[in-house]
Amino acid sequence: MLNIKNLEAKVENKHILNGLNLNIKPGEVHAIMGPNGSGKSTLANVLSGKNGYDTKGEIKFDRQNLSELSTEERAHKGIFLAFQYPLEIPGVNTNVFLRTSLNSVRKARGEKELDTLSFLKLVKEKSSELGIDEKFLSRQLNVGFSGGEKKKNEILQMKILQPKLAILDETDSGLDIDALRIVADGVNSYKNKDNAFLIITHYQRLLDYIKPDFIHVLSKGKIVKTGNAELGVELEKTGYANFI
Amino acid sequence: MRDKQIEDLKDYKYGFSTDIESFKAPKGLNEDVIRFISNIKKEPDWLLQWRLKAFERLKVLKEPDWQKPKYPKINYQDLYYYSAPKSASDKPKSLDEIDPKILETYKKLGIPLDEQKRLNGIAVDAVFDSVSVATTFKDELTKKGIIFCSISEAIQKHPDLVKKYLGSVIPLSDHYFATLNSAVFTDGSFVYIPPNTRCPMELSTYFRINASETGQFERTLIIADKGSYVSYLEGCTAPMRDENQLHAANVELVALDDAEIKYSTVQNWYPGDENGVGGIYNFVTKRGACRGKNSKISWTQVETGSAITWKYPSCILQGDNSVGEFYSIAITNNHQKADTGTKMIHLGKNTKSKIISKGISAGKADNMYRGLVEVKNKASNSRNYTQCDSLLMGNKCGAHTVPYIKNNNSTSTIEHEATTSKINEEQLYYCNQRGLDQEEAVSLIVNGFCKEVLQQLPMEFAVEAQKLVAISLEGSVG
């Protein structure tokens, strides 16, 4: 599904990714761990198509060259990024945002736009799965949301947009245990053999709930170690020092 | 569907002009032209004298020059002050008698002149160049005693009301453009709502400037008698021309005891091309008097068009407990300039005013909020709340806020809040990542920014206004 070859990225002449290779197949869950400044969020941004990065190397998503696609086209193809710091958009209802977003994606995929009633039914179903109060949906997008609410909202968007590849950028940071469990349940219930996850995290604790198939250690813009779920437990004990 | 709409609207959708023979007064501004206008409208002598007095006054007044947007000197002798479609010189009695080309024009504009479209529930008075061509729903309104007609007709049929209120809010010699209007105004709408009557539908006027080298000087007068309510909508368009056209309207509102007037404008005059050639000079005087106790006047404006917009819809809060509101969205793109805001003059006790202004500037445009809040010494326990937000798109545009605040009463309070922000790249990226393209993202964010004002518009207009907001800003973020 996703094939990254020799990816380099720099911002204002500062090299952040230095020849990164990664292959993700449908049905897999990959976790990326690594110390601060190792390039984890940059990887998420480059994959989703954020401006401002000078890149080299190759990223293919479903055999298509990602560098040819704009941010929104990548979203239409099924790449979703759960933001580390979801943005506030004052004056825009969460519901309106969700619907605009879903219909943009559906339109691009040649599907019919959802009418209000079907949309409300869908959003009600998905939000109740995540224990999100309906009132929350008529609030302005992320405005005045707590850290936990923002992250739950990201997972809700994921479940509504139904991406092929979901990238979670430190979705667990700032969550209490209950919220963490809800977020993890959200991911687990969405996971199937056709989609894949790339989970960026600092801590093992999220991986207690979402079992990864692979854990990669990122250091200085390169993957320096790849292992299975055991690797996370080991890292938790020993830190990154042995790998970087 | 949306793409199609955008495509239709991409360039200035209303930039067609209609080929109709028109009947014009000779070019130029002089006593003869004023007599010509008054004569052709068969006006009573008092009104002619009133016009001539305004003209005398005009000779000693100077054009104001304190505003931020500057413009080349207007040659007032080189304009037509009266232009009527020829077929209307015998005034049409019903829609059947109206030149089909004019009806076609309004159809292109999406104005439901045809009474078959009564489901829209909006009564429309349409002003084409200088004359009012049709007023729909007249019968239904007449049953309730509501008068809604062109001001020319009101001068003939309801001279007492016109004489009593005309110029009572905007005095004859107020300032240059208002006085010019008093001398040469040609048509406009007149509304009278009798006591304790709630107008059952939105009343609406559509203005369109068609003939070239024509100024449009319309005059609107709305009176809400005791305990009545009316909501009035105004929309404006003009064809594309490479000269600048002048629009200097006067709008007067009077609310008596316990009456409420809600006045909404969606102004989409031709803004000029992307190099700033052509476009309307929109120099308008709008003022409302809350004359009675517990009366209320609420202005809502969405200003997206015109080369220069220069207007301050104001409220004079005379009656005790009266309320004035001003909700404004002003969008300027390319070379457009806006200097707009309001005046809230608190005279009565316990008077309240609220100002919400949203200015959006893109391209090389300049957007200014200018407003006066004045509490006179007898206006005890009065309150004002003002919020001015500016949104900038790009690096070449400007936003300015100039509030004038005068409080002469120690029991009254005035609050002013202002913010200026740039459209946020991170917000756009967030929207893009969720599948919205650049235009959709800008539209969503800007509409969110304007929400408090859009909410004030009647439903039918709100949808149109939201689209207009998006269209006005197309291509403004690279």
CB contact under 8 A, A72 and B435: yes
Q: Which residue of A89, A100, A157 is in closest CB contact with B427?
A: A89
Q: Which residue of B426, B435, B452 is in closest CB contact with A87?
A: B426
Q: What letter would DSSP give residue B456? A: T
* pLDDT for the residue B119: 35
* pLDDT for the residue B11: 55
* pLDDT for the residue A24: 95
* pLDDT for the residue B195: 98
* pLDDT for the residue B9: 40
Residue B271: band (very low, low, confident or very high) from pLDDT cuts 50, 70, 90: confident
* pLDDT for the residue A20: 93
The predicted-structure confidence for A6-18, as pLDDT tens digits, reads as follows 999 999 889 999 9
Residue B88: band (very low, low, confident or very high) from pLDDT cuts 50, 70, 90: very low
CB contact under 8 A, B435 and A101: yes
* pLDDT for the residue B92: 47
CB contact under 8 A, A104 and B424: no
* pLDDT for the residue B465: 80
CB distance B307 to B236 below 8 Å: no
**Interface residues of chain A, partner chain B, Cβ below 8 Å:** 48-51, 70-72, 74-76, 80-81, 83, 86-87, 89-92, 96-97, 100-102, 104-105, 108, 140-141, 157, 161
Q: Which residue has the higher pLDDT, B458 or B389?
A: B389
Q: Which residue of A has its CA nearest to B426?
A: A87
Mean pLDDT to the nearest integer, B190-199 = 96
Inter-CA distances, B395 with A230, B61, B366, B391, Å = 52, 39, 12, 12
What percent of chain B shows pLDDT beyond 90? 45
Determine the residue type at B82: Y
Mean pLDDT to the nearest integer, B259-265 = 95
CB contact under 8 A, B434 and A86: no
* pLDDT for the residue B144: 92
Dihedral, CA atoms, B187, B189, B195, B197, nearest 10 degrees?
160
Q: Shortest Cα distance from A165 to chain B (angstroms)?
A: 13
Residue B210: band (very low, low, confident or very high) from pLDDT cuts 50, 70, 90: low
* pLDDT for the residue A242: 77
* pLDDT for the residue B293: 97
* pLDDT for the residue B16: 54
* pLDDT for the residue B244: 73
- Measured distance CA(B268)–CA(B263) in Å, rounded: 16
Q: Is the pLDDT confidence value at B94 over 80? A: no
The predicted-structure confidence for B406-431, as pLDDT tens digits, reads as follows 999 999 999 999 999 888 889 999 99
Q: Which residue has the higher pLDDT, B373 or B124?
A: B373
Dihedral, CA atoms, B221, B172, B157, B209, nearest 10 degrees?
-60
The predicted-structure confidence for B387-399, as pLDDT tens digits, reads as follows 999 999 888 888 9
Least confident range of B42-51, B142-151, B210-219: B210-219
* pLDDT for the residue A7: 93
- Count the alpha carbons within 13 Å of B177 in the hemisphere toward its beta carbon: 23
* pLDDT for the residue A241: 80
CB contact under 8 A, A50 and B429: yes
* pLDDT for the residue B117: 40
The predicted-structure confidence for B156-180, as pLDDT tens digits, reads as follows 999 999 999 999 999 988 899 999 9
- Measured distance CA(A135)–CA(A229) in Å, rounded: 38
* pLDDT for the residue B100: 64
Inter-CA distances, B383 with A86, B136, B391, B415, Å = 38, 40, 27, 8
* pLDDT for the residue B67: 79
Q: What are all long-range contacts of B423-427, with beta carbons under 8 Å and residues at least 24 apart?
A: B423/B391, B423/B392, B423/B393, B423/B477, B424/A87, B425/A51, B426/A87, B427/A87, B427/A89
Q: Which two tokens stand for residue A4?
A: 């990254």
User: DSSP string covering B164-187, please?
Assistant: HHTTSSS-TTSSHHHHHHHHH--B
Q: Measure the CA angle with vertex B429, ends B428 and B432; round to 5°.
A: 85
The predicted-structure confidence for B324-373, as pLDDT tens digits, reads as follows 999 999 988 888 888 999 999 999 999 999 999 999 998 888 899 999 99
* pLDDT for the residue B425: 87
Residues found in chain A: 244
Interface test with B, best of A70, A71, A93, A158 (most B CBs within 10 A): A71
Q: Is the pLDDT confidence value at B435 over 90? A: yes
* pLDDT for the residue B98: 55
Q: Which residue has the higher pLDDT, A67 or B18?
A: A67
**Interface residues of chain B, partner chain A, Cβ below 8 Å:** 424-427, 429-438, 440, 444-445, 447-452
Q: Is the pLDDT confidence value at B48 over 60? A: yes
Q: Average pLDDT of chain B?
A: 83
Q: Is the pLDDT confidence value at B97 over 60? A: no
- Measured distance CA(B21)–CA(B85) in Å, rounded: 6
Q: Which residues of B touch A51 (CB under 8 A)?
A: 425, 429
Helices (H) and strands (E) in chain A, counts: 8, 12
CB distance B310 to B279 below 8 Å: no
Q: Is the pLDDT confidence value at B140 over 60? A: yes
User: DSSP string covering A6-75, please?
Assistant: EEEEEETTEEEEEEEEEEE-TT-EEEEE--TTSSHHHHHHHHHT-TT-EEEEEEEETTEEGGGS-HHHHH
Q: Which residues of A touch B444 (CB under 8 A)?
A: 89, 92, 96-97, 100
Q: Is the pLDDT confidence value at B374 over 80? A: yes
CB contact under 8 A, A83 and B425: no
- Measured distance CA(A89)–CA(B448) in Å, rounded: 7
* pLDDT for the residue A172: 87
Q: What is the pLDDT along chain A (244 residues), one digit of tens a residue?
A: 999 999 999 998 899 999 999 999 999 999 999 888 899 999 999 999 998 899 999 999 999 999 889 999 999 999 999 999 999 999 999 999 999 999 999 999 899 999 889 999 999 999 998 888 888 899 999 999 988 899 999 999 999 999 999 999 999 888 888 889 988 999 999 999 999 999 999 888 888 899 999 999 999 999 998 988 888 888 888 888 877 7
* pLDDT for the residue B8: 40
